[in-house]
């Protein structure tokens, strides 16, 4: 698996050398989706990911995230797929349909491929709300890119624990607040 056997899902989790993570990034409002990608990348590198082991694929919009994520998740050398996009509310309910389709699509990809697929799709009423969510914490934002990367590391840790159990090992989980 992609997590060091001595790591936990906490802040000190370390990814094993050779871990490969993919990111699918919508080019719609690339200033925001790109900012989330950069924050996620920085966190993953802090957790031990080699920058060369981050595969980035661009999507024209959010609706295309699932098909690209699926192709990446099917690869044996990809341990997790992070997806970043933005759906803004408009005058119609179009945003709800797109966001729902993407959420269901990414969930299906994860379950069908047994590969973590992380949901970094901002769904906001305004561009200002999206900007606040995409900005790093140090810039006064909610840093959703880092949040997605942290979730990826945590899911990989959980999968590592399950694999250890499947091999007859024991697992001790600690929940820290």
pLDDT digits (tens, 9 = 90+) for 56-92: 999 999 999 999 999 999 999 999 999 999 999 999 9
Domains and CATH numbers, the chain: 21-166 (3.40.50.960)
Q: Check whether 119 is labelled as a binding-site residue.
A: yes
pLDDT digits (tens, 9 = 90+) for 109-159: 999 999 999 999 999 999 999 999 999 999 999 999 999 999 999 999 999
Whether residue 105 contacts residue 97, with contact meaning beta carbons closer than 8 Å, is answered with: no
Q: Check whether 156 is labelled as a binding-site residue.
A: no
Give the 3-state secondary structure of residue 166: helix
Residue 29 is a catalytic residue: no
Q: Check whether 133 is labelled as a binding-site residue.
A: yes
pTM surpassing 0.85? yes
Whether residue 36 contacts residue 71, with contact meaning beta carbons closer than 8 Å, is answered with: no
């Amino acid at each position: 698996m992609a997590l060091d056997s001595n790591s936990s899902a906490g802040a000190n989790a370390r990814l094993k050398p050779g871990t490969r993570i993919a990111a699918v990034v919508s080019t719609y409002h690339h200033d925001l989706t790109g900012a989330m990608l950069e924050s996620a990348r920085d966190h993953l590198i802090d957790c031990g990911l080699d920058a060369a082991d981050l595969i980035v694929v661009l999507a024209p919009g959010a609706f295309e995230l699932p098909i690209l994520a699926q192709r990446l998740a099917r690869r044996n050398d990809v341990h997790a797929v992070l997806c970043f996009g933005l759906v803004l509310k408009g005058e119609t309910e179009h945003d709800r349909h797109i966001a729902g389709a993407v959420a269901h699509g990414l969930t299906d990809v994860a379950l069908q491929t047994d590969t973590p697929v992380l949901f970094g799709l901002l769904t906001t009423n305004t561009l200002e709300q999206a900007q606040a969510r995409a900005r790093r914490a140090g810039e006064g934002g909610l840093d959703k890119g880092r949040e997605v990367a942290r979730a990826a590391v945590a899911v990989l840790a959980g999968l590592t624990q399950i694999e250890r159990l499947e091999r007859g090992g024991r697992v001790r989980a600690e929940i820290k607040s």
